[in-house]
Chain A
Amino acid sequence: MTTVLGIEGTAWNLSAAIVDEDDVIAEVTETYRPKTGGIHPREAAQHHALHASNVIERLLKEYRDKGHSPENIDAIAFSQGPGLGACLRTVATSARALALSLDVPLVGVNHCIGHVEIGRWKTPAVDPVVLYVSGGNSQVLAHRAGKYRIFGETLDIGIGNALDKFARGAGLTHPGGPKVEEYARKATNYVKMPYVVKGMDFSFSGLSTAATDSLKDNSLEDVCYSFQENAFAMLVEVTERALAHTGKSEVLLAGGVGANMRLREMLNVMCEDRGASFYVPEKRFMGDNGAMIAYTGLLMFNSGTTLPIESSHVDPSFRPDTVDVTWIIDEKEVL
């Protein structure tokens, strides 16, 4: 049995967890909550720095209280990117210190792949097309020839940021996503809005601006509804294209925006009509969490991938498709 401690801290959540092959053994999370508006990168990093040692101490205590010894820990995994530079550096510093003090290797985990792997672990999905939707990220990923390939992604801003930007313009308090969803339920009319899909890529900034403009002539409920209908239809369309293109038959939803029930419903309908299976992990594994970093670190460690301290620099624009997926053996060879 392998045991890995993982730390996540790319944006809002500072979260650390200890996992083995079977389950999450311990997890502690501290969330940065700005007094006003969206994320302030420097404040978020300060938040993480302030709570880092405390979070690790509480985590190790929980682990000990459950009858384990920290000597069982085989590696320290950390979120190496993508994310906010200052936050990433704070987390990497704690991870290095911990690896040195426990005298175990370090594993650098790609945050997006963390979302994919925890979904594969905690749902029956085996080889899915993954729709990963969060504040800063919106991607369609799937495994092919030793890598998680990006089959489509946003050309400008992530869906979460688009929702937040619109919500701010509409005078809704942060975070805007859940409020937009609530208003959308009470809508009576669909309002025409931009729908931008370019091949497998999509764009949200124009939609966000158009939605703000149409508040002049339409009710907030109708605009929230129509914004969601267009934005989510774009995401579902691209997910369906990736299914058709890869010939895969499973869809996995990942990331914080995955909490939206309308998005789930649309994906579910699309999958039903195509005869594909649709999987959503439970809520605690959808948003950013330490367990996903620990578990992906475990997969990497078990397949021989570790990171020397001297090359453990962070990468704010770390691409998932640059990581060798050493823990999945390709059964079929590609073209």
Chain B
Amino acid sequence: MYLQSGAEAVVSLKDGYVIKDRIPKRYRVAELDERIRKERTRAEARLMSDARRCGVATPIIHDIYDFTIEMEYIDGKPVKYVIDETMCKLMGKLIGRLHSGGIIHGDLTTSNMIYSDDRIYLIDFGLAYVDGSVESRGVDIHVLFQTLESTHKDHEELIKAFSRGYRITLDMADEVLDRVKEIEKRGRYA
């Protein structure tokens, strides 16, 4: 069964497993394209497992090939469709744990979180990497806040709720949240 095709992968369901296939992009030179797809596939499988060890719920990896990952199917709803303040606080706690564990997700959006059994599962680790700097954490959160701002009308309340949760599981949360404000101001007009 075919689940969804996002920007870079085709995700389908086969024998009860989710198959995530990174498809070639014709607009990129082949060498660059293969490198990106391979790197992201490998990083995704590794960091999904690492995240689980930090107490962040993720699908269990079943198998991995050059451009393909087979993983556990999470039966739930994308957070995008069920978002509210309670969910955002939970999300904040989750990302705080991920960051405490030294992992940056790299593509934090409400489409990359699945709500199931009162838990939020984090998926799509293709852009994730290991880093504990305030800057990288700040960019990670900035990306999420941008999605909230661009897709949800009551984003101010949602961002506040997220921040409350984030402070619970990450010691230096305030430093990161201050950096997010700084990042927003930057990069506009050099």
Contacts and interface: CB of A to CB of B under 8 A. Distances in A.
| A-B complex is real | yes
**A154, A199, A240, A265 pick with most chain B CB within 10 angstroms:** A199
Interface stretch (B21-29, B46-54, B88-96, B162-170): B21-29
In the complex, which range does the number of interface residues on chain A fall in? 35 or more
Interface string B72-110: 000000001101000000000000000000000011110
A198 B139 contact: yes
A137 B188 contact: yes
A158 B189 CA distance: 8
A199 B188 contact: no
Interface string B143-159: 11011011111000000
Contacts of A158: 189-190
Interface in A195-225: 195, 197-201
A237 B37 CA distance: 12
A241 B127 CA distance: 13
Nearest to A191: B31
A82 B188 contact: yes
A190 B109 CA distance: 33
A190 B186 contact: no
Given A155-B139, A155-B186, A198 B127 contact: yes
Contacts of A192: 31, 35
B186 A150 contact: no
A213 to B, nearest CB: 18
A234 to B, nearest CB: 10
A318 B6 CA distance: 32
Contact of A145 (B26, B36, B142, B153): B153
B151 A334 contact: yes
B32 interface: yes
Contacts of A199: 106-109, 127, 139-140, 143-144, 146
B12 interface: no
A316 B190 CA distance: 10
Contact of A136 (B27, B150, B189): B189
Contact of A150 (B25, B108, B127, B146): B146
Nearest to A267: B27
A316 B189 contact: yes
A270 B190 contact: no
A316 B188 CA distance: 9
Interface in B32-68: 32, 35-36
A233 B190 contact: no
A229 B109 CA distance: 27
Q: Which 3 A-B pairs have the closest CB atoms?
A: A199-B143, A149-B150, A244-B7
